[in-house]
Chain A
């Protein structure tokens, strides 16, 4: 889109998680909308794609919906048990998008966030750090295949936040 592209560059945290978003004009489109380029300042160098940058699918391309051991129930349980509400008047949506590679490993985590009117906003790091940390700890992503070949794919989790509390986890 020649318009605006939401780039995410939130700096490195002490725990190594990326955070903070910046809206910037993009000169053009990537191969596919939402492609996440590797960034050595943000990403785990040990995370590698199996089939190359131009072969990364979307999670729904396989027609199976979200694929996680224990299903969405396990993801919801992880956030329910681990996320601690932050007493702040901050509400809206946070999306963390990442890649699951052909071995089920995850990397290239990126955040976008908005208020409840879809306007970009930066949430307090006590909120986003927790969400990132829990998301990065999820290790049940299933390997998805196109035919017999295991593929790398984009996955995202979307969080609905209400006054610092986690209300819903999507998709």
Chain B
């Protein structure tokens, strides 16, 4: 199972952001797009933040303004530098040129980088209405987009709806759970007061990809269920795992439901104080 996760993590971003096959445009007789595509290929070897990278893509856009790829490729540097204004402008152009190819990416980025929950939901749901196949995964491969959509609903205060979406996704026969799916499900159960269900979800997460966050939230569920010793043990495990870097990580943003060492330490302090009472 871990191999599947690793493969997804490594391959999906590459596949999702891959340079188009220029020969396809030549094959279908779209000479203009073929030329723009060939121009876009000249970005190879240039850093995506660099002047050369951006200028080359500008030239591709000048050749064929209806070609979505150069807009999207240009947008990445703005995204990663937190320039939401220029990023959105470029991605709007990419989406206008080719909605089905870019809505997933724009929607995911709105959530991941800008916590634009409403905008992310709109993009993902619009994509879902436009296609009759699976909407796919996030750019980093960590989430199916329905799970990402669920996290957006949760952040907008709709925990019941979020839980329902994740449960529906997990129930699909061909769906391989994402690396954080059961953790998020467990936290939703926890927030909704279903502590036994939360515990079960955290147990499932532990079986496939245990994390400091999983043990931290498991501890909360166990405390609610009256298992104080079990909760204490889970917090200690969470601390060890966190120090061993077995925790949620995203190089760009802090993932939803991520915890920090201070959260664990504070929880341990609270438990110790209660034991003294």
Q: A residues within 8 A CB of B115?
A: 160, 168, 170
Q: How many angstroms between the C-alpha atoms of A72 and B263 in the bound complex? A: 11
Tell me whether B251 is interfacial, beta carbon within 8 Å. Answer: yes
Partner of B49, one of A2, A32, A64, A72: A32
- B217-260 vs A, CB cutoff 8 Å, 1 = contact: the mask equals 00000000000000000000000000000000111111000001
Tell me whether A60 is interfacial, beta carbon within 8 Å. Answer: yes
Q: B residues within 8 A CB of A28?
A: 51, 55
Shortest CB-to-CB span from B216 to chain A, Å, is: 13
Chain B residue nearest to A114 in the complex (CB): B85
Tell me whether B83 is interfacial, beta carbon within 8 Å. Answer: yes
Quick one: given A1-B74, A170-B253, are A156 and B114 in contact (CB under 8 Å)? no
Q: A residues within 8 A CB of B83?
A: 6, 33-34, 95, 112
Q: B residues within 8 A CB of A72?
A: 254, 260
Quick one: given A31-B50, A58-B81, A95-B83, are A118 and B263 in contact (CB under 8 Å)? no
Chain A interface residue count, Cβ-Cβ cutoff 8 angstroms: 40
Tell me whether A147 is interfacial, beta carbon within 8 Å. Answer: no
- A34-63 vs B, CB cutoff 8 Å, 1 = contact: the mask equals 100000000000000000000000101001
Chain B residue nearest to A121 in the complex (CB): B85
Partner of B51, one of A31, A64, A118: A31
Tell me whether B24 is interfacial, beta carbon within 8 Å. Answer: no
Asked whether, in the complex, the Cβ of A118 is within 8 Å of the Cβ of B251, the reply is: no
Q: How many angstroms between the C-alpha atoms of A4 and B88 in the bound complex? A: 13
Which positions 118-164 of chain B face chain A at CB distance < 8 Å? none
Q: How many angstroms between the C-alpha atoms of A32 and B46 in the bound complex? A: 11
Q: B residues within 8 A CB of A58?
A: 49, 80-81
Q: B residues within 8 A CB of A154?
A: 81
- B77-119 vs A, CB cutoff 8 Å, 1 = contact: the mask equals 1101111111011000000000000000000000001111000
Asked whether, in the complex, the Cβ of B262 is within 8 Å of the Cβ of A74, the reply is: yes
Q: How many angstroms between the C-alpha atoms of A138 and B54 in the bound complex? A: 33
Chief secondary structure at chain A's binding surface: mixed
Q: How many angstroms between the C-alpha atoms of A29 and B86 in the bound complex? A: 13
Asked whether, in the complex, the Cβ of A33 is within 8 Å of the Cβ of B55, the reply is: no
Asked whether, in the complex, the Cβ of A60 is within 8 Å of the Cβ of B252, the reply is: yes
Q: How many angstroms between the C-alpha atoms of A63 and B260 in the bound complex? A: 18
Asked whether, in the complex, the Cβ of B86 is within 8 Å of the Cβ of A6, the reply is: yes
Tell me whether B58 is interfacial, beta carbon within 8 Å. Answer: yes
Q: B residues within 8 A CB of A116?
A: 116
Quick one: given A33-B81, A60-B80, A158-B114, are A2 and B58 in contact (CB under 8 Å)? yes
Tell me whether A87 is interfacial, beta carbon within 8 Å. Answer: no
Tell me whether B14 is interfacial, beta carbon within 8 Å. Answer: no
Tell me whether B261 is interfacial, beta carbon within 8 Å. Answer: yes
Q: A residues within 8 A CB of B50?
A: 31-32
Tell me whether A140 is interfacial, beta carbon within 8 Å. Answer: no
Asked whether, in the complex, the Cβ of B49 is within 8 Å of the Cβ of A73, the reply is: no
Other than the given A1-B86, A34-B49, A171-B252, 20 more pairs (CB < 8 A) read A6-B83, A29-B54, A31-B51, A32-B47, A32-B50, A33-B49, A33-B54, A33-B81, A34-B81, A58-B81, A60-B80, A65-B249, A95-B83, A95-B84, A112-B85, A120-B85, A158-B114, A170-B113, A170-B254, A171-B254
Q: Can you spell out 27 A-B residue pairs with CB atoms less than 8 angstroms apart?
A: A1-B54, A1-B74, A28-B55, A29-B51, A31-B50, A32-B47, A32-B77, A33-B49, A34-B78, A60-B80, A70-B262, A72-B260, A73-B260, A73-B263, A74-B262, A97-B81, A97-B82, A112-B84, A116-B116, A118-B88, A119-B85, A158-B82, A158-B84, A158-B114, A168-B115, A171-B113, A171-B254
